[in-house]
Amino acid sequence: MLNRELLGPGLFLALFTLYAIVAWQIPLLPFEEYETVTSATLPKVYAVFGIVVCLLSIGATLLKSKEQTAEPVQHLEKENVLRTFALLVLMVLYSAALEPIGFLISTSAFLLVGFFVMGERRKKILLFASIPVAVVFWFLMTQVLGIYLVPGDLWS
């Protein structure tokens, strides 16, 4: 019984479980041994909180589906799964392209292709929804907040 309402919480449960495993392996600094709050406290709290929320969501979904047996269960469609994997591949390519071609070009291309994968085909919308967003975000981060964003190897 794998449907859309169980897939999300199931994936997040796996993610938070892995996060919890890593959080419990954070080494403590020597001066943190007897402290109440350490550098590993917040990651552990996040992991436990995420696992509890995921389990509650899965339980609520299962209880709801037992109560509403007359309503048909929506199953995953192949097109949506392929779109999701395309976006995951696009994210990996985006992270690989940040260093060589820089933030502005890679973010604009990521948004442009991402909108295209999600079904937008109008050229004006694709261009005006991706390039200005990347430029405004770059301006806010670098010029207003003073945060360094990689310019890329193309410009150096």
Least confident of 65-74, 86-95, 145-154: 65-74
Same domain, 116 and 136: yes
Number of domains in the chain: 2
> Is residue 73 predicted with pLDDT exceeding 60?
no
Q: What is the pTM of this model?
A: 0.58
Same domain, 82 and 151: yes
Question: Mean pLDDT across the stretch 97-108?
Answer: 91
Domain end: 67, 86, 112, which one?
67
Pair 44, 23: CB distance under 8 Å: yes
Same domain, 34 and 103: no
Same domain, 60 and 29: yes
Does a structural domain hold residue 22? yes
Strand (E) or helix (H) holding 51: helix 41-67
Same domain, 61 and 82: no
Same domain, 57 and 102: no
- The residue among 84, 89, 73, 65 whose CA lies nearest residue 4 is 73
Which residue range is the domain that position 58 belongs to? 4-67
- pLDDT score at 154: 74
Does a structural domain hold residue 72? no
Question: Mean pLDDT across the stretch 102-108?
Answer: 92
- pLDDT score at 15: 94
- pLDDT score at 69: 56
- pLDDT score at 68: 63
Does a structural domain hold residue 120? yes
